[in-house]
Structure 1
């Protein structure tokens, strides 16, 4: 079932131990993995500092693109739970993509994660919306 979910574009959870063994090289010193999820070849890892997006490209998957979304830049989170049929759960994170959060012109972006219909996305939503709420207070102070 995990492979089927991956082929359909749904993330499945990966253990902290596996994350640190396979992807520890992408983490900054002292950075700790909190949770991680995998598609067939792609990953996203949530650490205490950022979300690391790992995109294996090409036929062999040896070419890899690594990007980060800093937790301090998240300002809004939306969640859509699975319905009937083939619907999946979705979590969309909206974040400030500009290097300076209090600049006169901010550039924002969003990233959507899709999970299988049986995956309980609510705890992840609550964790990210808590971060977004904290960031909103800090940025608007």
Structure 2
């Protein structure tokens, strides 16, 4: 993908895929013991990592981007995933993740569910990532309801 396409994707809110090695060098210090980056994406200054344990969202703030907020979603809390593939023209692909944000997964604990959306450029094939997340959501749903 050329530099102009990357700039246009960044301006339109699309995530550009970055190699796990490059992400490991820059963000490895935020990983837990045994955590491995599967894939990751960058949007201008912000970054999202998909690891074997979490989805980690780095939100760089301020004019220089020195200030940064780090949020994460435990994969064990993901309960629903939906995808919208790119259509004709300038449409983008999107993956929506619903996860349990409350500390208790059972209904008697007052479960809070939150939705997070990720937009991807039309050129990125979201199907493998969707399938990975969908399998996690399915297994989590089965474990919670067993």
Query: Distance in 1 between the 2:116 and 2:18 partners?
Result: 20
- Unpaired segments of 5 or more residues in structure 1? none
Query: Distance in 1 between the 2:16 and 2:100 partners?
Result: 26
**Structure 1 residue aligned with 2:126:** 121
**Structure 2 residue aligned with 1:15:** 19
**Structure 1 residue aligned with 2:72:** 68
**Structure 1 residue aligned with 2:105:** 101
- Unpaired segments of 5 or more residues in structure 2? none
Deviation of 1:10 after TM superposition, in Å, equals 0.5
Query: Distance in 2 between the 1:91 and 1:103 partners?
Result: 26
Partner of 1:128, secondary structure, is helix
**Structure 1 residue aligned with 2:52:** 48
Query: Distance in 1 between the 2:49 and 2:124 partners?
Result: 17
Task: Tell me which stretches of 4 or more aligned residues in structure 1 moved more than 4 Å.
Answer: none
Deviation of 1:43 after TM superposition, in Å, equals 0.6
CA RMSD in angstroms, aligned pairs only = 0.9
Partner of 1:52, secondary structure, is strand
Aligned length: 141
**TM, length-normalised to structure 1:** 0.96
Deviation of 1:53 after TM superposition, in Å, equals 0.5
